[in-house]
Structure 1
Amino acid sequence: MTRPTLVLLHGFLGAADDWSTLREQLPKVQCIALDLPGHGQATAQCLRQMADFPGWLTQQLARRQTRQYHLLGYSLGGRLALQFAASHPVGLQSLILENAHPGLSTVADRQLRIQSDARWARRFHREALTQVLADWYQQPVFQDLSPTEREQLITARSQNSNRALAKMLCCCSLARQADYQGWIKTSTLPILYLCGEQDRKFRQIGTQLAAACPQVQLTCLAGGHNLHRVTPNSMAAVIRQWLNAFPF
């Protein structure tokens, strides 16, 4: 029996293993979880520039002889997935974005973001990783985390490489990403946008995209920024329903 293929791209600081619980809920889906450059087992593969990512992912798919697939990306992984989809790859059937930003539309916003990411990158490069992570997870986007969850994430993410994280943060800053809102409006690629009810910022982004783009389906789930961690069962149910609409 042929199964649909779902390629999974984790967020900044994450790793392919982040998807393990969600994958267990998708036994009829062939899931391919990748370590992004600079993360997990791919710390030596840092990109020189964000524009290199489509070529990197194309190579990863070719190695696995993946010809028809759906692409799911969370946060940074979602932004990279969006960039890849906009490069018009052969075989991509749909795009699933989990709390991912489509791109900044003003010069002022880009300047503020590049300054912020540069400050974080300096800290990742120079300071103890546990201390930087303790501050990182105090950002508003992670407000749904409990103290215990924060400590668990800090412990798990401390296995990363300081320098690799600093490089990836500079290379793949949202300020360096193109604004894909125009592309989304004109694209015919089916897009599922997943957002958390407690993540006000990305719930608003998803609502605006769905209102402006008829091919974007918005689904809001209980939880905050990281849905596949806090509500994998509900997220898997939505994904199963989404994939069932496609031939494979």
Structure 2
Amino acid sequence: MPQLDVAGAALTYDDEGPRDAPGVPLVFVHGWTADRHRWDHQVAHFCAGRRVIRLDLRGHGESTGAGVRTVAELADDVLALLDHLEVERCVLVGHSMGGMIAQTIALAHPDRVERLVLVGSIARMAYSRGRALLMAASTLVPFRLFVAANIQRAFAPGHPREQVRAHIRASAAVPREVVMTLYGAMRSFDVLDRAGEIRMPTLIVHGYHDVQLPVRQVLRLAKACPDAVVRILDAGHELPLEKPAELTGALDRFLSGNPDPRHTW
């Protein structure tokens, strides 16, 4: 796999599909403790007729590197890759923390984002006092237990247990420093007051059973984002794994201009 050296990290990426295809490239950004293969279904669908780019964020998957402290620094890595690949403008698709990265890029560099797709992501982490205390306490348990608890609850009830266990193992393989530092970065992420500045067409796809980032939180983003289309799927937080075909279909319709730019449910 090709790699790009950026600020002490070697970023592994895929750049697939015809370079001369109509439309700007699709760029997929995965979430916390995941890797670029979260997007396998979408990449397989779109790369036949469109340039498609995805990467492993630093410290994840086949990429190396640590030391990143903020979502904005991860956004800089993505921008460095786009510069390297000479991608001036794209459709940016982000899941969970990847959606936070995508929002950061869309706000800082709106000229580079033609359309924005946020999958299981929000603009501000918000907790009750009780849940905030519970989350803080969860960081004190053994690392593997911390990861297992967070990944387990990311899936809607009934998801095959062997798949959940496989993803727990993969997440636990991400270096502890990367996992815990970015956990804190997500908790402090907040661009909700700037969501109205996101003026490009935006698709928000969220799971009805998402307990990691509940639907009520994403509705705050949808209300503030003037050009958002909202799709709520019968899934938990891990939409690319739980409902890959439905997610791909929603993205396909969005890229083709259907449905029209209104909130839909």
Q: Distance in 2 between matches of 1:110 and 1:95?
A: 32
The runs of 5 or more residues in structure 2 that have no matched partner are 1-20, 259-265
Identical aligned pairs, as a percentage?
21
**Superposition deviation, residue 41 in structure 1:** 2.2
1:203 corresponds to: 215
**Which structure has greater helix proportion?**
1
Say if 1:221 and 1:56 are closer, same or farther in 2 by CA, change over 3 A. same
- Range that drifts further, 193-202 or 213-222: 193-202
1:151 corresponds to: 165
1:184 corresponds to: 195
Partner of 2:26, secondary structure, is strand
Partner of 1:77, secondary structure, is helix
**Aligned residue runs from structure 1 range 193-232, under 5 A:** 193-199=204-210, 201-232=213-244
Q: Is the 8 A contact 2:66 2:177 kept in 1?
A: no
**Aligned residue runs from structure 1 range 6-17, under 5 A:** 6-17=26-37
Letter in 2 for 1:231: K
Say if 1:166 and 1:234 are closer, same or farther in 2 by CA, change over 3 A. same
Q: Distance in 2 between matches of 1:95 and 1:110?
A: 32
Say if 1:60 and 1:118 are closer, same or farther in 2 by CA, change over 3 A. farther
- The alignment's TM-score, normalised by the length of structure 1, stands at 0.81
- The alignment's TM-score, normalised by the length of structure 2, stands at 0.76
**Superposition deviation, residue 82 in structure 1:** 1.1
Q: Distance in 2 between matches of 1:128 and 1:116?
A: 14
Letter in 1 for 2:249: A
Letter in 1 for 2:26: L
2:10 corresponds to: none
Task: String of CA shifts for 1:3-56, please: whole Å, max 9, x gaps.
Answer: 431111111110112211221122323221111122112231441433323322
- The answer to whether residue 103 in structure 2 is matched with residue 92 in structure 1 is no
2:262 corresponds to: none
Say if 1:168 and 1:3 are closer, same or farther in 2 by CA, change over 3 A. same
Aligned residues: 235
Say if 1:47 and 1:237 are closer, same or farther in 2 by CA, change over 3 A. same
1:64 corresponds to: 85
- The answer to whether residue 246 in structure 2 is matched with residue 234 in structure 1 is yes
**Superposition deviation, residue 181 in structure 1:** 2.2
**Superposition deviation, residue 111 in structure 1:** 11
Q: Distance in 2 between matches of 1:70 and 1:184?
A: 18
Q: Distance in 2 between matches of 1:191 and 1:52?
A: 23
Structure 2 counterpart of 1:21, from 25, 31, 41: 41
**Superposition deviation, residue 134 in structure 1:** 2.5
The runs of 5 or more residues in structure 1 that have no matched partner are none
Partner of 1:173, secondary structure, is helix
**Superposition deviation, residue 152 in structure 1:** 2.0
Task: String of CA shifts for 1:164-204, please: whole Å, max 9, x gaps.
Answer: 3223323x2322x13x2222224312211001132265332
**Superposition deviation, residue 146 in structure 1:** 4.1
**Superposition deviation, residue 118 in structure 1:** 7.9
- Range that drifts further, 211-220 or 71-80: 211-220
Q: Is the 8 A contact 1:43 1:161 kept in 2?
A: no
Partner of 2:62, secondary structure, is helix
Q: Distance in 1 between matches of 2:151 and 2:228?
A: 30
1:33 corresponds to: 54
RMSD: 2.9
- The answer to whether residue 183 in structure 2 is matched with residue 162 in structure 1 is no
Say if 1:243 and 1:118 are closer, same or farther in 2 by CA, change over 3 A. farther
